[in-house]
Amino acid sequence: MAALLVTILIAGAVGAVTGGALGAWLAGRGAWRGAVLVLIGWAAQAAAGAVGVDGVVWGTLVFLLALGLAGGRWGMGLSARALSLVAVGSILGTMALGAVATWVVQLA
Query: pTM score, two decimals?
Result: 0.86
Map out the domains of the chain as residue ranges: 38-108
> Which pLDDT value is given to residue 75?
84
Pick from 73, 69, 86, 74: nearest CA to 29: 86
> Which pLDDT value is given to residue 11?
86
10-residue averages of pLDDT along the chain (108 residues): 80 90 92 92 90 88 93 87 93 88 82
> Which pLDDT value is given to residue 44?
92
Distance separating alpha carbons of residues 106 and 27, to the nearest angstrom: 36
